Amino acid sequence: MARQSGIIKLKGTIGDITFYKTQDGHLAREKGGVEASRIASDPAFQRTRENGSEFGRAGKAGKLLRTALRPLLLKASDGRMVSRLTQQMVKVIQMDAVSTRGMRNVIDGEIELVLGFEFNIRGKLGTSLFAPFTTDIDRVAGTLDVSIPSFIPANMIAAPSGTTHFKVISGGALIDFTGETYVVATSETAIMPWDTSATTAINLSNAVTANATHPLVLALGVEFYQEINGQMYPLKNGAFNPLSIVAVDGGV
């Protein structure tokens, strides 16, 4: 892979060279590689097929998690979030100590490895929200809760330039990675001023199915707003809104 330079940027294929545009700029690469039919049948590519199978399973698991949390992700994600989450799901699958290689899966892996995953690399929860919070997952009751004691927003939230208001959001998801289904609930505070006035204590509760056996995932985030002439507008279309997985229960 090579980077294109110069005034004129090419797109398309010339001979064996393909020119294309990515988030990293205009690139070029030489066509080549092994034929798909050989990869699918040649014993020499057995490991390749196994890796491909598990990578596909990781991608599907990541998509299911993203879909479950989509109400929150609409305003809190970056352009590389999908690939980063897939890579994390690969690590989850690789921790499966039961299944044979190529058949390893999320359920027998360590879904807890998604704990701390940041959906928006441009605005991380760990560098945005400094107010202490606690989480609680009650599998019997089917609740996923976040509690934040009273705090002063200007001191405990590192907000991007232009912020006048904010709100705290959370979501709890019950995910069946085998059946590819989920149950999700979300909650949020009112929009509050980002100033030196202390907030009230914040308690966000998300209720899903009680006594379920599938993994439970709790996400927490912040949305930033700018007030203009009495109207609230998402700051820079949510480009710096943080959202992170703050608690995980892998199931029984």
Q: What is the pLDDT of residue 180?
A: 94
* Spatial distance between the Cα atoms of 58 and 65, rounded to a whole number of angstroms: 11
Given a cut of 90, whether residue 16 has pLDDT beyond it is no
β partners of residue 26:
21
Q: What is the pLDDT of residue 237?
A: 84
With a CB cutoff of 8 Å and minimum separation 6, the contacts of 211 are 139, 140, 142
Q: What is the pLDDT of residue 150?
A: 98
Q: What is the pLDDT of residue 30?
A: 61
Q: What is the pLDDT of residue 197?
A: 97
113-148 tens-digit pLDDT:
999 999 999 999 999 999 999 999 999 999 999 999
Q: What is the pLDDT of residue 15?
A: 61
CA 2 distance to own-chain centroid: 30
Q: Angle CA(77)–CA(83)–CA(84) in degrees, nearest 5?
A: 70
185-236 tens-digit pLDDT:
999 999 999 999 999 999 999 999 999 999 999 999 999 999 999 999 999 8
Domains and CATH numbers, the chain: 1-32 (no CATH), 35-113 (no CATH), 114-249 (2.60.40)
Predicted model pTM: 0.84
Of 14-28, 101-115, 194-208, the one with minimum mean pLDDT is 14-28
CB of 124 within 8 A of CB of 244? yes
Radius of gyration of the chain (CA): 22
161-179 tens-digit pLDDT:
999 999 999 999 999 999 9
39-89 tens-digit pLDDT:
455 555 566 676 677 888 899 999 999 999 999 999 899 999 999 999 999
